[in-house]
Amino acid sequence: MTTQTLIYIFVIASFVLYIGIAIWSRAGSTNEFYVAGGGVNPIVNGMATAADWMSAASFISMAGIIAFAGYDGSVYLMGWTGGYVMLALLLAPYLRKFGQYTVPDFIGARYYSKTARVVAVICLIFISFTYIAGQMRGVGIVFSRFLDVDITMGVLIGMSVVFFYAVLGGMKGITYTQVAQYCVLIFAYMVPAFFISFLVTGNPVPQLGLGSTVDDGSGLYVLQKLDLVLQDMGFGAYTGGDKSMIDVFCITAALMVGTAGLPHVIVRFFTVPKASDARKSAGWALVFIALLYTTAPAVGAFARLNFIDSVNNVEYSQAPEWFKNWESNDLIAWRDKNGDGKMQLGKGDAFKGAPEFDAGAGANGERVVTNEAADDNVNEVYVDRDIMVLANPEIANLPGWVIALVAAGGLAAALSTAAGLLLVISSSISHDLLKQTFRPNITEKGELLAARLAATAAIFVAGYLGIYPPGWVAQVVAFAFGLAAASLFPAIFMGIFSKRMNREGAIAGMVTGLTFTFLYIGWFKLWSPESNIEANWLFGISPEGIGVIGMVLNFAVAIAVARFTSAPPDAVGKLIEDIRVPRVT
């Protein structure tokens, strides 16, 4: 059986499973649509949370960034895992004890204001659509390579699948679908990691293989060899780092704090029966997440070694089949700058941004790239970082069924998070804007219909953002974390731990943090990308880390405004005490 046939079988079977689960667990009420009835077992919820959390950025892009950034890529590992611990300890049990459906629900009630609720909805939509762009891009990349369609068609197919189980099943359908997706994605991630670790080091455990010697007789450890190879090619050491200390700190902090403010993760803790179960499900989720996150550094290092060995100084006419496969989808490219017919890697980017091809071919058969960088740039090979995990089994010549499994796993990771994000968007519109703000007399049936219509509209917007993304998958997701850190996290944190914070302060803080962070990211990434260099950054902080400054501004403005405006009503103080005081159950 051919590899392509296996890919079709694995992917179609996984889609049938997801849609079948959605039909079986279709939501019949708003309670089931928003929070799965609030009766999900903590272990099941932990597994679903892990799938919701481990998006295309975790599965597809994180190891790719580590492969090319080396030490600097550790900010994603530290930020995302540390942030989950913060969420589990500081926020999850208190929000579950509050006992509502959404994050804007909490903010609206805690700050006794419909305006605060609406501002929270706006923040949530900004965050969610930024995040979902990366997921749909991941779906398109997987489809474009493995199902032999272009990225646009891949995104459209992904949109159709998400429509079925997110719109029909709601949170109830999504929860049980995500359990299946976690099993698929973790198996798909670990199996090739075991294979490749054994091939490179003789040790099948990737976490241990990263610290082992390379099985080539050199006696060098994996990271030692990678350092030497990259330095010989003109790169810096893999275990070194180019980012400034302040930028590393700010990116890590923005990812940590942003995690604790992500609405699609927080809402998962509303689905368990009681507050103690929220803490238990957070603990289980951390265990499930750790399986992938402790493996990613090894996958990144092995991928970089294998990529260099199979491409550098190889005649293009002798290029491996996997290179031609990804090249046909415009995700790898070669520009023969010195005319020797060989693919040569070196320091610097081969091309400015993603490559654009014309209809012809170069003298040696290469795809002609129209926007290559200056001729004195040594590097001749462009590779989209988001393909490294997906291409890894092919580069290592693993069996076809492993390649098919990775394709199914990549789709599971992207679709699981996309579904969670679509749900929080739809619930914020139908529940927080309609039911709680503009149409309080709407029936439950009408609210459920509005939620499904909102989810449908959100899918189309998400698809557009997936076709025209503003960066790499993990990079786009990092922007969402920055927006969450600057807008929702301070309002949630102060709402739980400060009785003095009032509606005026919370609203002013959210608006300030969101506006500043969005404009900073927009300027350097959308409106003036050519100015995105360290010399132009505020305090040397990149757009990925600027959410920390936005958060500080949010706290400062909120506290200052609250100090000069009236204190919250006594009922709010009692609400906070009820949330924070433990209750024996």
Spatial neighbors of 58 by CB under 8 A, at least 6 apart, are: 80, 292, 293, 296, 413
> Cα(132)–Cα(358) distance, rounded to whole angstroms?
30
For the record, the structure tokens of 187 come out as 């198996």
Domains and CATH numbers, the chain: 3-280+398-468 (1.20.1730.10), 304-395 (no CATH)
Q: Are 394 and 192 in contact (CB under 8 A)?
A: no
Using the 8-state DSSP alphabet, how is residue 527 labeled? Answer: I
What is 344-368 written as a DSSP string? ---SS-SBSSS--EEEEE-TTSPEE
pTM over 0.85: no
**Residue 240 one-letter amino acid:** G
Along the 585 residues of the chain, how does pLDDT read in single tens digits? 787 888 888 888 887 877 777 677 665 555 555 554 456 778 888 888 787 777 666 777 778 788 877 778 788 788 877 777 777 777 777 777 776 667 788 888 888 888 888 888 888 887 777 777 767 777 777 777 777 777 778 788 877 777 766 666 566 667 777 788 888 888 888 888 998 899 888 888 998 888 888 888 788 888 888 888 888 777 778 887 777 888 888 888 888 888 777 766 777 776 677 767 777 887 888 888 888 888 988 988 888 888 888 888 888 888 888 888 787 777 788 877 777 788 877 765 555 555 566 656 666 666 666 655 444 556 778 787 778 888 888 888 888 888 888 888 877 777 767 777 777 777 777 767 777 777 777 777 777 778 778 777 877 887 787 777 655 544 566 677 788 888 888 998 898 888 889 999 999 999 999 899 988 988 887 777 777 787 888 888 888 889 899 999 999 999 999 999 998 888 888 888 877 765 544
For the record, the structure tokens of 72 come out as 């600097």
Q: How far is CA 553 from CA 107, 428, 485, 582, in A?
A: 19, 25, 11, 32
For the record, the structure tokens of 203 come out as 């040790």
